[in-house]
Amino acid sequence: MEYVVCPYCNIGWVDKPYTVEDYQRCGLAAAGLTALRAEHPGVAWYTGSGHLRDSRPFWSAVGQGVDGAYQPREMCEHVEHHGGVKPRWKLRQRPQCR
C-alpha cells in the first residue's frame, strides 16, 4: 500500500492496497486501510488515481462511512507528485520561469 497524508489539509491519499493472490479476498487490504485510518484520525481519505473496473467494488465497500470514501481526487499543492509532503521551504518557493 502506498499513501501520503497532508498535515495542512487533513487529507490522505492511498493507492495500491495489494495483497498476494493466495490471500486476496481475506480482508487483509481492508484491515490495512482500517489500521491506517486509526493512525491518522480526522483525515479524509481519497485515492490519487482512478479506480480500475475490477477494483471499484472493493473501493466502494471499504469507503463506506469513511470521510472522502476513497474516491479519486487530485493531490493538494503540499504533496509531491512522487509522494511525500513538500518541505516548508519548498512551499514558500516561487516557481521559476524558463
Place of cell 479524509: 44
Smallest CA-to-CA distance from 58 within 16, 20, 21, 22 is with 16
Q: How high is the pLDDT of residue 92?
A: 67
Tell me phi and psi for residue 66, to 5 degrees: -105, 130
Q: How far apart are CA 76 and CA 1, in angstroms?
A: 20
| CB-side neighbour CA atoms (13 Å) of 88 | 1
> In the chain, which stretches have pLDDT less than 70?
92-98
Which whole-number Å values give the CA distances from 83 to 5, 53, 63, 97, in the listed order? 9, 24, 22, 24
Q: How high is the pLDDT of residue 97?
A: 46
